[in-house]
Structure formats: C-alpha cells, structure tokens
C-alpha cells in the first residue's frame, strides 16, 4: 500500500503576540496514513487535532520536521496546488463553507477555481451530488437545507475536485443525530466504494468505531493507535486522557467492575447485547 500522508518529527508552535510566548502544540509528532484507509483521530479539546489537520494541506507549515502528502513536501511552495488538489478539507461549521446561492453552483466553485472546462465541471458536479445522495437538491438554496445536508454539499464540493484524500475536522459537531449519521455514512461509502482516503477528526466514539483505524492524540503525541477494537478496549488509558470509550464498551467495563466477565470487544449494540445475554444465561 502507498502512503497518503507522512508526518515526520513535526514541530509546530503558534507564534506569540507581542512579548507573549507562543503555544507549542507539537515537538516531535509522527504519523503515517496509508492510501485508501479510513482513519479517525480522537483527542481531548486543545490537544492539536485541528493544528495537525491544517498541516495536511499546507494551511499551516511545520516549524520543524516534515509533512508529506502523496510524497510531496507540503512546504514546497511550487507544488502547493498539487497538495491542495490531493487533500480536500471539510470543517465544522457548514454555513461557513457555503459560497453560492444554488447547490450546484456551490459544488462547482472548487473545480471552477482549478480552471477546469465547463462540460467537465458539469459532469463532476452531477457525479459529486449523486455520490453524496443530494442530486435532487441541485437547484435548491443551500441555506434552506438541514445541517447534515449542508455538510454533504460541502463534501460534494470537495469531491468535485477529485482529491485522493478528504480530511474532515469535526464535521458533525454542529449536527443532530440524523445529520451525523448522514455525514458519516457518506464518507464511509466514499472510502469503501471510491477508495478515497478519509481522515475523520471527531469526538463521537460511535463515529470513530466505523473507521479502519483509530489514532488517539495526547500532549502532542500518538497515545493509542490501532483498530477501533484495539483502541477502545484500553478504557483506563482513554479515561486518563479525558476521553470515554463507546457507550457499549463503557457498559461492559462497568458491569465487569461488578463481577461480570465481559469481553470489551463488543462494540456494536448488537454484539454488546449478545455478550451480556450470554453472561446472564450462564
């Protein structure tokens, strides 16, 4: 498998204003994301998730170390457009990402800026809207859509630029449960069916549980890294850095404190119910 993103000895300090010292977020951060994978990034508030994400498409450049995207050094000014074309970003607030008064014009905005010919833009916009399940909203006004629908339009705008990778920084933080489900199902499908690499920053454990790999950040380093089951069974570690495991794992973990002997591997509600049922039936 090829490498989509490589973070090597990354250091980053936000510059201080006047005489105040800067904020050192990373001193020696290392991470590699394989092409085609769906990776969730977790971590408590202020641990540096957004700072890291902004390094993935040259919004921020390292103070030290290197970040590579598809083998391109993100600090290479001559290849900035290539980096931006490879990695599309989706942010938390859907309203800040809407630029047009009609959905299809909004989705066309990115490819237009890339200087792509009109017939090709038409084709890409139609395809992108189809891929996020929003084709029948093509001529609607974006501001009248639900939060989840707006985020799917934002995702369509990104995939119309045909990136190899999409980085989503807490895209569901402002959405209701239905909107959250719509967005996570959309990115999961883009990953499985189109092979687009997905990096999803979230504080919802149930969303992270759908990824192939979960990376937990703490104090500028990777504190845990593995499949959702490998990471979420480390309940004490998660608690020690201010995070919770998914509700199913937390339930089994609590029951174990009261004499049950449940595997913490039961991530889905169904697996969890099955495990408890079997223990009770003994």
Nearer to ligand ADP by Cβ, of 23 and 141: the residue is 23
Smallest separation, CB 245 to ligand ADP (Å)? 19
Closest residue by Cα to residue 206 from 135, 269, 159: 269
Binding part of the chain for Mg ion, among 43-51, 136-144, 186-194, 231-239 by CB under 5 A, reads 43-51
Contacts of 63 by beta carbon, 8 Å cutoff, 6+ apart: 11, 12, 13
- For tokens 């999961």, the residue is 188
Closest residue by Cα to residue 174 from 198, 197, 154: 154
Nearer to ligand ADP by Cβ, of 51 and 162: the residue is 51
Output the 3-class SS for 94-115: HHHHCCCCCHHHHHHHHHHHCC
63 lies in the binding site for Mg ion (CB under 5 A): no
Nearer to ligand ADP by Cβ, of 45 and 259: the residue is 45
Given a contact cutoff of 8 angstroms between Cβ atoms, the answer to whether 129 and 103 are in contact is yes
Nearer to Mg ion by Cβ, of 49 and 85: the residue is 49
> What gap in Å lies between CA 77 and CA 81, rounded to an integer?
9
Candidates 13, 37, 44, 50; binder of Mg ion (CB under 5 A) is 50
Find which of Mg ion, ligand ADP, none residue 151 binds, CB within 5 to 8 Å per kind: none
Residues that bind ligand ADP (CB under 6 A): 14, 23, 25, 43, 45-51
Binding part of the chain for Mg ion, among 24-32, 50-58, 144-152, 183-191 by CB under 5 A, reads 50-58
Helices (H), the chain: 49-55, 80-86, 103-113, 118-131, 147-159, 177-194, 205-208, 228-232, 235-240, 247-257, 269-281
Nearer to ligand ADP by Cβ, of 25 and 267: the residue is 25
Binding part of the chain for Mg ion, among 46-54, 71-79, 248-256, 268-276 by CB under 5 A, reads 46-54
β-pair partners for 215 = 41, 225
Closest residue to Mg ion using C-beta atoms: 50
| Size of interface with Mg ion, in residues (CB under 5 A) | 2
> What gap in Å lies between CA 184 and CA 114, rounded to an integer?
27
265 lies in the binding site for Mg ion (CB under 5 A): no
Smallest separation, CB 31 to ligand ADP (Å)? 14
Nearer to Mg ion by Cβ, of 51 and 162: the residue is 51
β-pair partners for 222 = 217
Find which of Mg ion, ligand ADP, none residue 84 binds, CB within 5 to 8 Å per kind: none
Find which of Mg ion, ligand ADP, none residue 23 binds, CB within 5 to 8 Å per kind: ligand ADP
DSSP secondary structure of 147-208: HHHHHHHHHHHHHTT--SEEEEESTTTTS-HHHHHHHHHHHHHHHHHH--EEEEE-S-HHHH
β-pair partners for 6 = 32, 68
Nearer to ligand ADP by Cβ, of 108 and 216: the residue is 216
Q: Kindly list the residues in this chain that would bind Mg ion in the complex (CB under 5 A).
A: 49-50
């Amino acid at each position: 498998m090829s490498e989509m993103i490589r973070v090597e000895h990354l250091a980053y300090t936000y510059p201080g204003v006047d005489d105040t010292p800067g904020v050192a977020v990373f001193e020696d951060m290392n991470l590699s994301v394989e092409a085609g994978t769906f990776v969730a990034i977790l971590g408590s508030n202020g641990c540096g998730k957004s700072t890291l994400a902004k390094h993935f498409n040259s919004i921020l450049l390292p103070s030290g170390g290197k970040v590579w995207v598809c083998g391109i050094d993100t600090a290479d000014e001559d290849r900035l457009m290539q980096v931006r074309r490879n990695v599309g970003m989706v942010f938390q607030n859907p309203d800040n990402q809407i630029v047009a008064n009609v959905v299809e014009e909004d989705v066309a905005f990115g490819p237009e800026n890339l200087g792509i010919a009109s017939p090709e833009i038409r084709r890409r916009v139609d395809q992108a809207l189809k891929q996020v399940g929003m084709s029948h909203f093509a001529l609607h006004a974006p501001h009248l859509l639900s939060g989840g629908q707006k985020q799917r339009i934002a995702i369509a705008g990104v995939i119309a630029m045909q990136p190899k990778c999409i980085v989503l920084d807490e895209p569901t933080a402002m959405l209701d449960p239905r909107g959250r489900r719509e967005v996570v199902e959309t990115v999961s499908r883009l990953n499985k069916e189109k092979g687009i690499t997905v990096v999803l920053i979230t504080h919802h454990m149930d969303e992270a549980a759908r990824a192939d790999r979960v990376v937990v950040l703490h104090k500028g380093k990777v504190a845990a890294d593995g499949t959702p089951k490998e990471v979420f069974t480390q309940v004490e570690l998660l608690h020690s850095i201010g995070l919770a495991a998914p509700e199913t794992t937390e339930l089994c973990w609590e029951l174990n404190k009261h004499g049950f002997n449940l595997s913490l591997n039961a991530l889905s509600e169904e697996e969890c119910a099955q495990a408890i049922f079997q223990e009770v039936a003994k």
